[in-house]
A and B are shown apart, each in its own frame.
Chain A
Amino acid sequence: GAVVSQHPSRVICKSGTSVKIECRSLDFQATTMFWYRQFPKQSLMLMATSNEGSKATYEQGVEKDKFLINHASLTLSTLTVTSAHPEDSSFYICSARSGTTNQPQHFGDGTRLSIL
């Protein structure tokens, strides 16, 4: 089945640091990737949609200058949390789908980000 790899799985860093999270589709080409954030005991909240070779589309209320998204190839998208603060601590999850009709999204295992 389709596999999406997300790295790192856990990050602990100091306030003010920038953190990069990678999302890779291992066995298919992902024309579109999505980034979600999940706070404890809440559902997934979509942050942005990333299309290969073009600018990401951000959901309302998500700061594009703080959450930088790059989708440089059909198998890799990155999310950089710039100048992270404790309130950015969360579980970040990516998903990917191929351009083929009727194919579901497949999710990575998430990145637990803790800002001290």
Chain B
Amino acid sequence: DAKTTQPPSMDCAEGRAANLPCNHSTISGNEYVYWYRQIHSQGPQYIIHGLKNNETNEMASLIITEDRKSSTLILPHATLRDTAVYYCIAHPTNTGNQFYFGTGTSLTVIP
């Protein structure tokens, strides 16, 4: 897996958009960008993934730069329940191989 770099922590006001950056400058052509989040004492929850096009689902949007060296996860209207550690992982999806988790970004949504 390509190494990913994320800020260790961020705050966001409730109701505002939370924009979580991830740097993956060594990503290779067959590696997707996956985002997961982990709420305290729970297993990680899948959020979204993409290769090079921007993606959107009911939880979030994923914006990947044209050179694919970085991406941003956007939670459009953050709620208190979005407080969690967010992990960005670059991983080739056409194998059964494991994810290696970095340290992630601890997002705190403030009332």
Contacts and interface: CB of A to CB of B under 8 A. Distances in A.
A39 B28 CA distance: 30
Interface stretch (B17-25, B68-76, B93-101): B93-101
B42 A110 contact: yes
Given A34-B99, A46-B100, A51-B96, A109 B43 contact: yes
Contact of B102 (A6, A32, A43, A49): A43
Interface size class of B (residues with CB under 8 A): 20 to 34
Given A51-B96, A104-B34, A6 B43 contact: yes
A24 to B, nearest CB: 13
Given A6-B43, A107-B45, A110-B42, A43 B103 contact: yes
Interface of B: 32, 34, 36, 38, 41-46, 49, 87, 93-94, 96-104
Interface of A: 1, 4, 6, 31-32, 34, 36, 43-46, 49, 51, 91, 93, 95, 97, 99, 101-110, 112
